[in-house]
Structure 1
Amino acid sequence: MPKSEGGTETVPVHPICHRAIHAHVSNQQLATEYADLDVLRAREDMRRFLDWIANKPPDFYAPTRRTRVR
């Protein structure tokens, strides 16, 4: 559950990954459909992002294009 909705469990996430997650998935979806990281990683858009970012240096930065979250 997102902290904004009373959740207390947190997982450290790199800032660029955090932006990518929220560009594709709403807080409500994170709480209900993607609470399991493996399920989130299996999404096609997240899998493509993770494949792309995998060989970038730790301090890599790129603007994140927000998609329409439903």
Structure 2
Amino acid sequence: MSDAAEACALCGRPLGRRAERHHVVPKSQGGRETVPLHPICHRAIHAAAGNKELARIYPTLDALRAHPEIAAFLRWIAGKPPDFHAPTRRPRR
């Protein structure tokens, strides 16, 4: 359960009934800082980049928001309600 006044660190929308904690730099890569995210935002991050890529290329939320897949996701999710959920698809690589 999350505080309704708290916002998602990725998309900025208010958090809904469920929130997840995300290591900005993955824990497996030495990260300690965590931020609150919507579950759908958390899944979008991990669908777009692996842990090593997150640590090396996208070690900040601003850098992550510039990732082309995340930028497109953020445009799409902007008008959705806080508890919105949809399947997250991994791109074919």
Structure 1 stretches of 4+ moved >4 Å: none
**TM-score under structure 2 normalisation?**
0.67
Q: Structure 1 or 2: larger strand share?
A: 2
**Which consecutive residues of structure 2, in runs of 5 or more, have no partner in the other structure?**
1-24
The farther-off stretch of 38-47 and 55-64 is 38-47
Q: Report whether the alignment pairs 1:47 with 2:71.
A: yes
CA distance 1:16–1:44, change in 2 (3 Å): same
Q: 1:48 & 1:56 partners in 2: Cα distance?
A: 14
Amino acid at match of 2:69: D
Q: Give the Cα separation in 2 of the matches to 1:14 and 1:37.
A: 14
Please give the secondary structure, in 2, of the residue aligned with 1:31: helix
Give the % identical residues. 64
Point out the more displaced range, 14-23 or 1-10: 1-10
CA RMSD of aligned residues (A): 1.5
Query: Which of 20, 40, 53 lines up with 2:44 in the alignment?
Result: 20
Equivalent residues in 2 for 1:1-70, closer than 5 Å: 1-68=25-92
Is this contact kept in 2: 1:24–1:68, CA < 8 A?
no
Give the helix-richer structure, 1 or 2.
Answer: 1
Query: Are the aligned partners of 1:19 and 1:64 in contact in 2 as well (CA < 8 Å)?
Result: yes
Q: TM-score, normalising length from structure 1?
A: 0.86
